[in-house]
Each structure stands twice: as structure tokens, then as C-alpha cells.
Amino acid sequence: MLNLDLDSIQNHLKKKGIEAHIQKETQQLCVILKIAEQEFPLFVRIFDGNELLQLLAFLPCNIQKSTLNDTARLLHLLNKEIDIPGFGMDESAFLAFYRCMMPAKNNKIDTAFFDAFFNAVDVVCKTFAPVITAVAHGAITFQDVLQKAKENKPISE
């Protein structure tokens, strides 16, 4: 079991070779995931009287105002299809993110459970960031994504 405090989580990540910094002003940990030569800031935060732990990763792309609707539709579709939904966006900041909430009990969280969710954030970002970025930047439309999915073609074709 992992104690539900930032120092314990930081030490656990360090043992796994993952660098995390405590941000005292926001009371959260910051980890930079490096995926395909891009940096995905991941924030770990404790909520609701130590009963919930949040993992929040921001995708390194700004959504264009003209693509907000297509991006939102894509994020909804992905959430419907993936095992651990959590995509969202902040329309006012034009940012997309992936967020997981994990329950804790007695100020502890199962270490294997934490590791599985942490790894899931990494996998989900690796898998879906390219298509989300393409739609957010207007390189392809949501309809293009649907059509390629129907044809079982990779988005890059």
C-alpha cells in the first residue's frame, strides 16, 4: 500500500525512475511524460479529505477555436470506446486533457492500482494524442476520423 501523501507518491515514482516535483503552491506533484519528443505535463493531486487521487495529463496542443466542436466530438467518442474514459477539454484555455480519479481508503492507495492507472495515462496519451492533435489543429476533421475508423485505416493515411 502507498500512503496517500505527495512525499510518498514522489518517492514511489522516484524508485520507478520517474522524476516528480512537488508544487507547494498548488499542493500537487508534477511529472513530465515524454512521448514522441513532446512533453505531457501530468499533475497528481489529492482531493476530498484524502479519499480521491487525481491524475491529470494535459496534451501538448492548443485547440483552435474553429476546431472546438470537432475536438469535443472526438473526445466524447474516445471516452465511449476506451476502458478508462477521462478525456476532456477546457474550452476557455483551448486545452485537451486526460483525467483519472482513483479512490483511496484510510489515507492509502494500492500500489499496483496506482501503477496501473499511471501507466494507463501514459498509454492513452501515446495512443490518442496524435489524432486529437490533428483534429485540434484542423489537419483532419471529426468526420475524417469516423470515415477512417469505418475503413479500419490508420489516421495518418
Q: Is 71 helix (H, G, I), strand (E, B) or coil?
A: helix
Q: What is the mean pLDDT of residues 89-106?
A: 94
Q: What is the mean pLDDT of residues 97-118?
A: 94
pLDDT at 148: 84
Report whether pLDDT(70) > 70.
yes
Whole-number percent of the chain with pLDDT over 90: 83
Query: pLDDT tens, 5-45?
Result: 999 999 999 999 999 999 999 999 999 999 888 999 999 99
The pLDDT mean for the chain works out to 92
Task: Read off the DSSP letter of residue 66.
Answer: G
pLDDT at 154: 59
Q: Where are the domains of the chain?
A: 2-66+84-129
Beta bridge partners of 33: 40
The arrangement of secondary structure in 2-66+84-129, i.e. its CATH architecture, is: 2-Layer Sandwich (3.30)
User: If you write DSSP's letter for every residue of 103-114 in order, what string do you get?
Assistant: E-BTTEE-HHHH
